Amino acid sequence: MSEIITPIQLVTSVYKRLEEWKHLNGVVTSLAPKAIKHAKLISQTPMDNSNLLMGIPFVMKDNIATIDSLTTGSSKILANFTPNYDSTVNKYLTKASAINIAKTALDELGMGGDGLYAATGHVLNPWNPKHITGGSSSGSAALVAAGIVPFALGTDTGDSIRKPAAYCGIIGFKPTYGLISRNGVFPYAPSLDTVGVFTNHVEDVAIVLDNLVHHDSEDFTSVHSTQKDYVKNLNTNIQDKNIAILNYDSYQWTPDIKQAFDDAVNSLVTDGAKIHKINFDEQLLQALLPVYMIISFAEATSCHANLTGINFGERIAGNDYSQVMTNSRTAGFGDMVKRRYIIGAYALSANYQEELFNKAKKVRRLVVEALTQIFKKYDAFIVMPTVTSAPTIKDVLEQKKVISSKHDYLEDLLLLSNLNGGPSITIPLTTVNNLPIGININATPFNDQTVLDIAQFLSNYINFNNKMLGDENE
């Protein structure tokens, strides 16, 4: 007979492991007192075998509000912000008797793709601490990869869940835009922001979705979906699925990554799927990053206008309100955030709004139309989330010192699903030099089940073993 583990024992073991991995710098705020109290309460409640989240610990990105607990967005300007309201997702998970143990670090206010821009410092990759985790949902990714919790919540505005998942050897899922409520989530770019989940197993994604996918009248972007019961409907039957893959024939990638990608694709063919290599308008692919930057930076500039030290945020004294605002924002924001606000304000200025912001929205529409045509023919579209493993922190910081005229658009493909709002999942593919790399599956909006089914099939075939799970930190 297997030993029964109580919620208290489970939470205690999680905090012990969290201490062993504290050098990852993935936590902003521990919720230990509340978590232990919650675990004790659950222990006194009869076990509900139909509730798969009962007593399960998780962590949450620190731009998602938790009532009466610090929610800082990993920014100095919100270092002491304790909301008197709760996010909808935290309400749902609390109701399901899942146990929130910590708020996790992120690139400040979600603005960054490396995990190096939290006010609390760099978040380190558990596979190799010299390498980045990716961002902005860096802390959530690191703690799931380290085997501390079975799932974590993050947000994905421009690959902020799926790129860290690729770098950390775990699963990162961005659902259809609006499928999970954003009520209580700090906005970055409201036309792009999406709440999603990190796990080590596709089935765990489905379990979390079953608890979080509900229409929420408190979120004006919340949508209704005809799909439900994601766990019940999860299957690996891909017979006759039409799946498009991006044509990488002209790309010179490393033989071991190419072999792993080809093997994964061939496994789909062997099981009855129909694979089609397609080309995507290269000009549109080259435009992905600038379009994302202009739209998201502009929306952030508008959304964060209330972080002044007067309405919200840590106040730095001044002679008048203008000086208070200037002093507070100067001291409260990091360089990455300031840079994005400047670009966003420039794009929204009267002289350049038509040339930059409005034009970016028009190009976004072209991207969406191109994807719509793809999904009229194919059930899914598979791309690589990145064609290299996680770079070193040193290399990333060195690259930030110069402005390069060259950029590899193959690093931006995950932005496609942000621009069209479709579901997208990254799963582990292989390792290169003892660092993981992933593969990514996309579908048209509201076809989240299709993405999960194909991911489940590929996960079974790849059989990736996260070496972090169960290991003692050395």
Active site residue 267: no
pLDDT in tens, 233-266: 999 999 999 999 999 998 888 999 999 999 999 9
Q: What is the pLDDT of residue 402?
A: 60
- Partner residues linked to 17 by β-bridges: none
pLDDT of residue 474: 38
* Nearest partner of 28 among 94, 86, 78, 95, judged by Cα: 78
Q: Is the pTM of this model over 0.85?
A: yes
Residue with the two structure tokens 């409907």: 233
181 is catalytic: no
Q: 168 and 133 in contact (C-beta within 8 Å)? A: yes
Instruction: Examine the residue annotation and report whether 376 is marked as an active-site residue of this protein.
Output: no
* Active-site residue identified among 140, 160, 328, 459: 160
Q: Which residue is catalytic, options 61, 103, 163, 174? A: 61
- Do the strands 195-199 and 171-174 form a parallel or antiparallel pair, or are they unpaired? antiparallel
CA–CA distance, 98 with 222 (Å, rounded to integer): 23
Question: Which is catalytic among the residues 75, 97, 136, 181?
Answer: 136
25 contact partners, CB below 8 Å, separation of at least 6: 105, 118, 120, 121, 122, 123, 124, 139
Query: Within the chain, which residues score under 50 in pLDDT?
Result: 1, 471-474
Listed by start position, the domains of the chain span 7-235+387-462
Q: Which CATH class is domain 7-235+387-462?
A: alpha beta
Instruction: Note the Cα 455 to chain centre separation in Å.
Output: 17
pLDDT at residue 467, rounded to an integer: 78
